[in-house]
Amino acid sequence: MSEINSLINEINRLKKEKNAVILVHNYQRPEIYKVADFIGDSLELSREAAKTDSDTIVFCGVDFMAESAKILNPDKEVLIPVKEAQCPMAGMVTRQELLSLKKQHPGAAVVSYVNTSAETKAESDICCTSSNCVDVINSLPEKEVIFVPDENLAKYAQTKSDKKIIPWKGFCYVHSKITASQVKEAKRLHPGAKVLVHPECPLDVIELADYVCSTSQMLYYAKKDEAREFVIITEHGMVERLKLEIPDKRFYAIVATCIQQKKITLPAVLRAVQEGIYPVKIDEEVMRKARRALDRMLAVS
Protein backbone atom coordinates (compact mmCIF):
# COMPACT_ATOMS: atom_id res chain seq x y z
CA MET A 1 0.00 0.00 0.00
CA SER A 2 1.38 3.41 -0.92
CA GLU A 3 2.11 6.00 1.76
CA ILE A 4 -0.71 8.20 0.42
CA ASN A 5 -3.26 5.39 0.61
CA SER A 6 -2.08 4.52 4.10
CA LEU A 7 -2.58 8.12 5.24
CA ILE A 8 -6.01 8.29 3.63
CA ASN A 9 -7.13 5.07 5.30
CA GLU A 10 -5.88 6.16 8.72
CA ILE A 11 -7.53 9.59 8.49
CA ASN A 12 -10.83 8.05 7.40
CA ARG A 13 -10.65 5.55 10.26
CA LEU A 14 -9.83 8.16 12.89
CA LYS A 15 -12.48 10.67 11.85
CA LYS A 16 -15.16 8.01 12.38
CA GLU A 17 -13.67 7.05 15.73
CA LYS A 18 -13.59 10.69 16.89
CA ASN A 19 -16.89 11.77 15.30
CA ALA A 20 -15.09 14.35 13.16
CA VAL A 21 -16.16 15.77 9.81
CA ILE A 22 -13.66 16.97 7.21
CA LEU A 23 -14.71 19.92 5.04
CA VAL A 24 -12.57 20.54 1.97
CA HIS A 25 -12.44 23.56 -0.31
CA ASN A 26 -12.37 23.05 -4.08
CA TYR A 27 -8.83 24.48 -4.33
CA GLN A 28 -7.27 21.80 -2.12
CA ARG A 29 -4.82 19.16 -3.36
CA PRO A 30 -6.65 16.27 -5.10
CA GLU A 31 -5.46 13.73 -2.52
CA ILE A 32 -7.22 15.78 0.20
CA TYR A 33 -10.53 15.15 -1.61
CA LYS A 34 -10.20 11.49 -0.64
CA VAL A 35 -10.64 12.21 3.07
CA ALA A 36 -13.43 14.77 2.57
CA ASP A 37 -16.93 14.39 3.91
CA PHE A 38 -17.87 17.38 1.79
CA ILE A 39 -16.10 19.33 -0.96
CA GLY A 40 -17.33 22.74 -2.05
CA ASP A 41 -17.01 26.49 -2.36
CA SER A 42 -17.23 28.95 0.52
CA LEU A 43 -21.03 29.14 0.53
CA GLU A 44 -21.53 25.37 0.39
CA LEU A 45 -18.97 24.80 3.13
CA SER A 46 -20.64 27.45 5.30
CA ARG A 47 -23.95 25.62 4.90
CA GLU A 48 -22.36 22.27 5.77
CA ALA A 49 -20.64 23.77 8.80
CA ALA A 50 -23.94 25.22 9.98
CA LYS A 51 -25.75 21.87 9.96
CA THR A 52 -23.12 19.32 11.00
CA ASP A 53 -23.74 17.20 14.09
CA SER A 54 -20.12 16.09 14.45
CA ASP A 55 -18.11 16.87 17.56
CA THR A 56 -15.15 18.17 15.55
CA ILE A 57 -14.80 19.99 12.24
CA VAL A 58 -11.47 19.70 10.43
CA PHE A 59 -11.36 22.46 7.85
CA CYS A 60 -9.08 21.94 4.86
CA GLY A 61 -8.94 25.47 3.54
CA VAL A 62 -7.59 28.81 4.69
CA ASP A 63 -8.00 30.66 7.97
CA PHE A 64 -11.16 32.68 7.31
CA MET A 65 -13.01 29.50 6.27
CA ALA A 66 -12.15 27.73 9.51
CA GLU A 67 -13.15 30.87 11.43
CA SER A 68 -16.53 30.91 9.69
CA ALA A 69 -17.07 27.28 10.66
CA LYS A 70 -16.28 28.14 14.29
CA ILE A 71 -18.63 31.14 14.23
CA LEU A 72 -21.44 28.89 13.00
CA ASN A 73 -20.52 26.17 15.53
CA PRO A 74 -19.34 27.95 18.69
CA ASP A 75 -19.73 24.85 20.85
CA LYS A 76 -17.80 22.54 18.53
CA GLU A 77 -14.08 22.09 18.13
CA VAL A 78 -12.92 23.48 14.78
CA LEU A 79 -9.42 22.63 13.60
CA ILE A 80 -7.28 24.00 10.78
CA PRO A 81 -4.47 21.52 9.98
CA VAL A 82 -1.90 24.22 9.06
CA LYS A 83 -2.18 27.50 10.97
CA GLU A 84 -0.02 29.27 8.35
CA ALA A 85 -2.72 28.68 5.70
CA GLN A 86 -3.79 32.31 5.79
CA CYS A 87 -5.62 34.21 3.05
CA PRO A 88 -3.70 37.41 2.17
CA MET A 89 -6.87 39.13 0.93
CA ALA A 90 -8.60 38.55 4.28
CA GLY A 91 -5.76 40.49 5.90
CA MET A 92 -6.16 43.48 3.58
CA VAL A 93 -8.93 45.00 5.72
CA THR A 94 -8.92 45.40 9.50
CA ARG A 95 -11.65 46.26 11.96
CA GLN A 96 -10.27 49.74 12.58
CA GLU A 97 -9.97 50.51 8.88
CA LEU A 98 -13.54 49.38 8.29
CA LEU A 99 -14.83 51.48 11.20
CA SER A 100 -13.12 54.51 9.69
CA LEU A 101 -14.76 53.93 6.31
CA LYS A 102 -18.16 53.45 7.97
CA LYS A 103 -17.84 56.89 9.55
CA GLN A 104 -17.27 58.38 6.08
CA HIS A 105 -20.43 56.69 4.75
CA PRO A 106 -22.85 56.57 7.71
CA GLY A 107 -25.87 55.59 5.60
CA ALA A 108 -24.20 52.70 3.81
CA ALA A 109 -24.66 49.03 4.58
CA VAL A 110 -21.51 46.96 4.98
CA VAL A 111 -21.21 43.77 2.95
CA SER A 112 -18.25 41.66 3.98
CA TYR A 113 -16.99 38.96 1.63
CA VAL A 114 -16.45 35.73 3.55
CA ASN A 115 -12.76 36.17 2.72
CA THR A 116 -12.36 38.37 5.80
CA SER A 117 -11.44 37.96 9.44
CA ALA A 118 -14.01 37.32 12.15
CA GLU A 119 -13.41 40.85 13.49
CA THR A 120 -14.26 42.36 10.10
CA LYS A 121 -17.39 40.22 9.82
CA ALA A 122 -18.42 41.43 13.28
CA GLU A 123 -18.51 45.03 12.01
CA SER A 124 -20.53 44.07 8.91
CA ASP A 125 -24.25 44.03 8.27
CA ILE A 126 -24.11 40.89 6.16
CA CYS A 127 -21.60 38.55 4.56
CA CYS A 128 -21.52 37.18 1.02
CA THR A 129 -19.64 34.73 -1.16
CA SER A 130 -18.68 34.90 -4.83
CA SER A 131 -21.79 32.89 -5.69
CA ASN A 132 -24.31 35.11 -3.90
CA CYS A 133 -22.73 38.58 -3.72
CA VAL A 134 -25.18 40.12 -6.20
CA ASP A 135 -28.23 38.62 -4.46
CA VAL A 136 -26.94 39.78 -1.07
CA ILE A 137 -26.29 43.34 -2.22
CA ASN A 138 -29.63 43.62 -3.98
CA SER A 139 -31.45 42.27 -0.91
CA LEU A 140 -30.47 45.28 1.18
CA PRO A 141 -32.73 48.32 1.65
CA GLU A 142 -29.80 50.75 1.69
CA LYS A 143 -28.89 52.56 -1.54
CA GLU A 144 -25.17 52.59 -0.75
CA VAL A 145 -23.06 49.55 0.08
CA ILE A 146 -19.52 49.37 1.41
CA PHE A 147 -18.00 46.19 0.00
CA VAL A 148 -14.86 44.68 1.54
CA PRO A 149 -12.24 43.56 0.73
CA ASP A 150 -12.20 42.45 -2.95
CA GLU A 151 -12.30 45.37 -5.37
CA ASN A 152 -12.67 43.10 -8.43
CA LEU A 153 -15.71 41.36 -6.96
CA ALA A 154 -17.19 44.74 -6.03
CA LYS A 155 -16.73 45.98 -9.60
CA TYR A 156 -18.40 42.86 -10.97
CA ALA A 157 -21.31 43.23 -8.54
CA GLN A 158 -21.68 46.87 -9.61
CA THR A 159 -22.47 45.70 -13.16
CA LYS A 160 -25.41 43.71 -11.71
CA SER A 161 -26.79 46.25 -9.23
CA ASP A 162 -28.31 49.74 -9.25
CA LYS A 163 -26.92 50.44 -5.79
CA LYS A 164 -23.82 52.56 -5.30
CA ILE A 165 -21.05 50.15 -4.28
CA ILE A 166 -18.09 51.60 -2.40
CA PRO A 167 -15.21 49.15 -2.96
CA TRP A 168 -12.25 48.43 -0.73
CA LYS A 169 -8.82 48.27 -2.38
CA GLY A 170 -8.23 44.59 -1.65
CA PHE A 171 -7.65 41.78 -4.12
CA CYS A 172 -7.03 38.06 -4.52
CA TYR A 173 -3.42 37.73 -5.61
CA VAL A 174 -4.31 34.59 -7.60
CA HIS A 175 -7.24 35.93 -9.62
CA SER A 176 -5.96 39.49 -10.03
CA LYS A 177 -2.87 38.24 -11.91
CA ILE A 178 -4.95 36.53 -14.60
CA THR A 179 -4.94 38.64 -17.76
CA ALA A 180 -7.28 39.06 -20.70
CA SER A 181 -4.44 38.12 -23.06
CA GLN A 182 -4.07 34.74 -21.30
CA VAL A 183 -7.77 34.06 -21.70
CA LYS A 184 -7.72 35.10 -25.36
CA GLU A 185 -4.82 32.71 -25.98
CA ALA A 186 -6.71 29.90 -24.25
CA LYS A 187 -9.74 30.60 -26.43
CA ARG A 188 -7.50 30.49 -29.51
CA LEU A 189 -6.02 27.15 -28.47
CA HIS A 190 -9.43 25.66 -27.59
CA PRO A 191 -11.93 27.36 -29.93
CA GLY A 192 -14.75 24.96 -29.10
CA ALA A 193 -14.46 25.34 -25.34
CA LYS A 194 -16.70 27.44 -23.13
CA VAL A 195 -14.95 29.86 -20.79
CA LEU A 196 -15.96 29.86 -17.10
CA VAL A 197 -14.56 32.77 -15.08
CA HIS A 198 -14.49 33.44 -11.34
CA PRO A 199 -15.77 36.94 -10.42
CA GLU A 200 -12.63 37.76 -8.42
CA CYS A 201 -10.92 38.27 -11.80
CA PRO A 202 -10.46 41.73 -13.39
CA LEU A 203 -13.40 43.02 -15.42
CA ASP A 204 -11.60 42.71 -18.77
CA VAL A 205 -11.18 38.99 -18.02
CA ILE A 206 -14.80 38.64 -16.91
CA GLU A 207 -15.94 40.20 -20.19
CA LEU A 208 -14.46 37.22 -22.06
CA ALA A 209 -16.51 34.66 -20.12
CA ASP A 210 -19.36 32.51 -21.32
CA TYR A 211 -20.38 32.20 -17.68
CA VAL A 212 -19.25 34.06 -14.53
CA CYS A 213 -19.53 31.91 -11.42
CA SER A 214 -18.12 30.56 -8.19
CA THR A 215 -16.09 27.36 -8.23
CA SER A 216 -18.99 25.06 -7.40
CA GLN A 217 -21.22 26.84 -9.89
CA MET A 218 -18.56 25.91 -12.46
CA LEU A 219 -19.12 22.28 -11.55
CA TYR A 220 -22.90 22.49 -11.87
CA TYR A 221 -22.68 24.40 -15.16
CA ALA A 222 -20.18 21.97 -16.73
CA LYS A 223 -22.33 18.98 -15.74
CA LYS A 224 -25.47 20.37 -17.36
CA ASP A 225 -24.08 22.18 -20.40
CA GLU A 226 -23.83 20.44 -23.75
CA ALA A 227 -20.25 21.64 -24.34
CA ARG A 228 -17.54 18.97 -24.10
CA GLU A 229 -14.63 21.31 -23.34
CA PHE A 230 -14.18 24.15 -20.86
CA VAL A 231 -11.49 26.70 -20.08
CA ILE A 232 -11.53 27.25 -16.31
CA ILE A 233 -10.40 30.70 -15.17
CA THR A 234 -9.74 30.41 -11.45
CA GLU A 235 -7.18 28.72 -9.18
CA HIS A 236 -5.98 25.83 -11.31
CA GLY A 237 -6.73 23.18 -8.68
CA MET A 238 -10.40 23.50 -9.59
CA VAL A 239 -9.66 21.55 -12.76
CA GLU A 240 -8.79 18.51 -10.61
CA ARG A 241 -12.24 18.63 -9.01
CA LEU A 242 -13.93 18.96 -12.40
CA LYS A 243 -11.97 16.05 -13.89
CA LEU A 244 -12.89 13.92 -10.89
CA GLU A 245 -16.60 14.71 -11.10
CA ILE A 246 -16.98 14.88 -14.90
CA PRO A 247 -14.37 12.50 -16.39
CA ASP A 248 -15.99 12.40 -19.84
CA LYS A 249 -15.39 16.13 -20.51
CA ARG A 250 -12.17 18.11 -20.97
CA PHE A 251 -11.02 20.99 -18.80
CA TYR A 252 -8.15 23.41 -19.37
CA ALA A 253 -6.63 25.68 -16.76
CA ILE A 254 -4.59 28.84 -16.74
CA VAL A 255 -1.80 28.31 -14.22
CA ALA A 256 -2.88 30.27 -11.14
CA THR A 257 -1.93 28.80 -7.77
CA CYS A 258 -3.10 29.65 -4.26
CA ILE A 259 -0.03 28.75 -2.24
CA GLN A 260 -1.95 29.07 1.02
CA GLN A 261 -4.55 26.47 0.03
CA LYS A 262 -1.83 24.06 -1.02
CA LYS A 263 -0.19 24.20 2.42
CA ILE A 264 -2.70 21.63 3.65
CA THR A 265 -1.26 18.10 3.27
CA LEU A 266 -2.41 14.62 4.26
CA PRO A 267 0.18 14.35 7.10
CA ALA A 268 -1.08 17.68 8.45
CA VAL A 269 -4.70 16.48 8.31
CA LEU A 270 -3.76 13.25 10.09
CA ARG A 271 -1.98 15.16 12.83
CA ALA A 272 -4.99 17.46 13.22
CA VAL A 273 -7.36 14.54 13.71
CA GLN A 274 -4.93 12.67 16.00
CA GLU A 275 -3.82 15.57 18.21
CA GLY A 276 -6.61 18.13 17.92
CA ILE A 277 -4.50 20.84 16.28
CA TYR A 278 -4.85 23.67 15.48
CA PRO A 279 -8.04 24.77 17.27
CA VAL A 280 -9.70 27.98 16.10
CA LYS A 281 -10.15 30.51 18.93
CA ILE A 282 -12.34 33.61 18.57
CA ASP A 283 -13.48 36.14 21.16
CA GLU A 284 -17.07 35.35 22.19
CA GLU A 285 -18.43 38.87 21.51
CA VAL A 286 -16.73 38.97 18.10
CA MET A 287 -18.16 35.55 17.34
CA ARG A 288 -21.67 36.60 18.34
CA LYS A 289 -21.64 39.70 16.14
CA ALA A 290 -20.03 37.89 13.19
CA ARG A 291 -22.63 35.11 13.50
CA ARG A 292 -25.35 37.66 12.84
CA ALA A 293 -23.75 38.66 9.52
CA LEU A 294 -23.24 35.04 8.44
CA ASP A 295 -26.75 33.98 9.44
CA ARG A 296 -28.19 36.87 7.47
CA MET A 297 -26.21 35.74 4.41
CA LEU A 298 -27.42 32.16 4.76
CA ALA A 299 -31.01 33.40 5.02
CA VAL A 300 -30.65 35.30 1.73
CA SER A 301 -29.01 32.30 0.06
Q: What is the CA radius of gyration of the chain?
A: 19
pLDDT in tens, 92-106: 999 999 999 999 999
Selection from 214, 180, 175 nearest residue 89 by Cα: 175
Ramachandran bin of 141, using left for φ above 0, alpha for ψ from -120 to 50, beta for the remaining angles: alpha
Whole-number pLDDT of residue 126: 98
Q: State the fold for domain 3-86+262-281.
A: Rossmann fold (3.40.50)
Percent of the chain with pLDDT strictly greater than 70: 100
Question: Distance between CA atoms of 40 and 25, rounded to whole angstroms?
Answer: 5
Give pLDDT tens digits for 158-172.
Answer: 999 999 999 999 999
Residue 43 is predicted with a pLDDT of 76
Q: What is the mean pLDDT of residues 195-201?
A: 98
Return mean pLDDT, the chain: 96
Class for the domain spanning 89-171+285-300: alpha beta
Domain 175-253 has CATH 3.40.50.10800: yes
Residue 35 has pLDDT above 80, yes or no: yes
pLDDT band at 134 (very low <50, low <70, confident <90, very high): very high
What are the structural domain ranges in the chain? 3-86+262-281, 89-171+285-300, 175-253
Q: Where are the beta strands (DSSP E) in the chain?
A: 20-25, 38-40, 56-60, 77-79, 109-113, 126-128, 144-148, 164-167, 194-197, 211-212, 229-233, 250-253
Percent residues over pLDDT 90 in the chain: 94
Domains 3-86+262-281 and 175-253 fall in the same CATH topology: yes
pLDDT for 235-292, tens place per residue?
Answer: 999 999 999 999 999 999 998 999 999 999 999 999 999 999 999 999 999 999 999 9
| DSSP codes joined into one string, 60-115 | ES-HHHHHHHHHH-TTSEEE-S-TT---TGGGG--HHHHHHHHHHSTT-EEEEESS
Say whether pTM exceeds 0.85.
Answer: yes
Confidence of residue 66 (pLDDT cuts 50, 70, 90): very high
In terms of pLDDT, which residue wins out, 1 or 224? Answer: 224
- Predicted pLDDT of residue 1: 53
Report the pLDDT value the prediction gives residue 301, as an integer from 0 to 100.
74
CB distance 264 to 79 below 8 Å: no
> Is residue 39 very low, low, confident or very high in pLDDT (cuts 50, 70, 90)?
very high
